[in-house]
Amino acid sequence: MSSIITPLFPGIPGGPELLIVLLVLVLLFGANKIPKLARSTGQAMGEFQRGRNEIEEELKEMEQGDDEEDEETGTETSTSTSTSTETN
């Protein structure tokens, strides 16, 4: 019986593939530029996360503002209908 190892996620490269990718990166960019590339990539990811968090906060504020407006219009409508029925 031969056991075939199937990867958990077939699209994601494993150990040997990552080593080949790292070797190609070293050959293309050189060992000196790889830390600079990693640093700039990390900074870009941090900026992206900050921007995403800001947008999420703005959306939450907009949702809360819409909820408050709905509550205000709901109370205005109920008071106006009660006064109109009292005058009849």
pLDDT of 23 reads 87
Domain ranges, residue 51: 31-62
User: Is residue 78 predicted with pLDDT exceeding 80?
Assistant: no
Q: Which helix (H) or strand (E) holds 24?
A: helix 15-29
Tens-place pLDDT, residues 33-73: 888 888 999 999 999 999 999 999 999 999 888 777 777 66
In a domain, 12, yes or no: no
23 found inside a domain: no
Whether 56 is in a domain gets the answer yes
Asked whether residue 82 is domain-assigned, the answer is no
pLDDT tens digits along 3-27: 777 666 667 777 788 888 888 888 8
Is a pLDDT exceeding 60 seen at residue 86? no
Characterize 47-59 residue by residue with b for buried, 16 or more Cβ atoms within 10 angstroms of its Cβ, and e for exposed: eeeeeeeeeeeee
Q: Is 12 left (phi over 0), alpha (psi -120 to 50) or beta?
A: beta
Question: Residue 61 has which token pair?
Answer: 């504020």
**pTM of the shown model:** 0.47
